[in-house]
Amino acid sequence: MRAQFVRGIDPRDSMDIGNKHAREAQKLMAAFKEIDPNSDPKITADQTVDSSEMVVVTIKLTATSYSLAWINSGLEYYMAT
């Protein structure tokens, strides 16, 4: 079996190996750190249910919470709230 590498994609993602949830959580946390380096993002949801997967990372600023989510249910997408 030969590995097939795709330019611009993490090889573990293209081969569907390893802990995808942890890699997606790190990407979401890095996005919050890019916006505000002093933020302290936390993983608030990390679950797999039947045919869907989800990771949610949240920061709290004063009385407002901001969340970024990765959802994979056949289609893979990101959501911000």
Domains of the chain: 20-80 (3.10.450.630)
* Residue 20 phi, psi dihedral angles, 5° rounding: -60, -40
Tell me the pLDDT tens digit for each residue of 30-39: 888 898 888 8
Give pTM, 2 decimals.
0.73
pLDDT at 1: 59
pLDDT digits over 26-63, tens only?
A: 888 988 889 888 888 888 888 888 888 899 999 988 88
In order, the DSSP letters of 41-59 are -EEEEEEEETTEEEEEEEE
